Amino acid sequence: MHKRMLILAFCLQVSHVKGGTLKAEGNQDGGGGGGGGGGGGDTLSHSLVLVQRLDALLAQGNGSDVSLRVETVNADEVKVIQAHSLVLALQSPLFDELLLGRNGSSTLVLKESADCATAFDKFVRYLYCGEISIRLEQATSLHKLATKYRVAGLQQGVTQYMTQNLARDSPSGHVVGWYEYAMETGDLTLRDSCLQFLSWNLSSVLQSREWVTISNQLLMSLLTRSDLILQSEMELFAALELWINKNEPDGLAAENALRAVRYAMMPPRELFRLQTQSPILARYQESVRDLLYMSYQFHSASPLHMAKYFDVNCSLFMPRNYLSAAWGSPWIISNPTRDDRSTSFQTQLGPSGSDASKRVTWNALFSPRWLPLSMRPMYTETGAMQPTRVDGGKPRIIITPATSSSDFAGVSFQKTVIVMARQHGKLLVKHVYNFHQSTEENGDFLAEADLHRRTSEYLIDGSLYLHIVVKPLYQTLITTKN
């Protein structure tokens, strides 16, 4: 298993001088201090040697004044570590409290779960040396120990390690387990990172062994989101069928999950197929009958006509980020800092039966150096897309329809730009940006990306990998009676 070193530095290292480090300091004594006329001083640091000696002190147990007796809960396994109370108390507030209350005993009895007991040697070594090697399967154990003994630096470091290694391969998957652990411990940073990773890479998750292991709570958290990135709503329904068959949840949990599916985003022919061929839908059809009925109505009339009688702002009629060709197009921009690029692509006007056959052509313009709106010169031609390129500008994308149409009435189009990146050998979603016409609307498009550096984590072989999704958002036109 790949090891990742998490190191907390004890000093600023500038240059090595026979096993130590030499750091030049500013003028502190106004020119005094002798020897060389510069007036400044140098600091000779052997902190690395100190760390090595602390490591040896722990390993050999020399001068130990406390024995840590680590007992595994519900097991006979016992581990004894010779340690030094000064180091333990200095690094851990809980150890400080425990050592003060031991009443003269030279042994401190600690009860830990099996996974934490296994990782306890590493944890104690971190307290001595300030560094630790972490494997994926040990991350939660070390995080538990850091949390319990209130070692804030290690706790934050392990959380960072976990958020940076969500994409790494493991035999049975680990993201779902880390999410459940974050929910238990209240680690909001880890929880949100896991949920975002699962949402943005859902197609891959649905094909993995982790999918059937997720809890009902996590399932509902995913199903209610509109930012899921997947091929189609049918892909999600098929995965939900698999989850229900594997986990056999109670009737209410299954009904709630099935009611979170956006059936209106499926073509009528797929709805007919589900009603006649899906055993799960046959079993729970009464629970979703109203949703299927509204979906058929959605496909039988124009959205503009339906919006006069029904609330079309509900989630049933709100698309997710679908990657199929009807909803958008991939766009690979090689050498993205060189100059402006443009592309055109077509999508369906909308997912309803009356709009699916109508095509809309979209023009997309990417500029690596786009002047902010407040600094652009005024153009007399309405709708002109004339980029103003200047040094120091920021990357921008503008997406507009090639023509206007009366079919656009009652609908606004949200554009989503998905930025892909290669992480641990996998093509995964790096960032998602939503806007109506220009990425300038949210102001942070590729703000952290160094596109000039070919090895940037936002680039794949020097190219920017994007996927554009266009989602129609319908507006309710119901007249309120007085």
Q: Where does the pLDDT of residue 52 fall: very low under 50, low under 70, confident under 90, or very high at 90 and above?
A: confident
Mean pLDDT in residue range 179-184: 95
Mean pLDDT in residue range 280-308: 89
Q: Dihedrals φ, ψ of 280, to 5°? A: -65, -45
pTM: 0.82
Whether residue 114 is predicted with pLDDT greater than 70 in this model: the reply is yes
| The pLDDT of residue 354 | 84
Highest mean pLDDT among 31-40, 296-305, 311-320, 458-467: 458-467
| The pLDDT of residue 70 | 96
From residue 335, how far is each of 338, 339, 388, 416, 430 by CA, in Å? 6, 9, 19, 22, 18
What is the longest distance spanned by two Cα atoms in the chain? 93
In terms of Cα–Cα distance, which of 320, 252, 262, 332 is closest to 291?
A: 262
Mean pLDDT in residue range 89-116: 93
Highest mean pLDDT among 11-20, 169-178, 201-210: 201-210
Whether residue 10 is predicted with pLDDT greater than 50 in this model: the reply is no
User: At 406, which amino acid appears?
Assistant: S
| The pLDDT of residue 21 | 56
The mean pLDDT value of the chain amounts to 85
Percent of the chain with pLDDT strictly greater than 90: 62
Of the two residues 302 and 265, the one the predictor is more confident about is 265
Whether residue 377 is predicted with pLDDT greater than 80 in this model: the reply is no
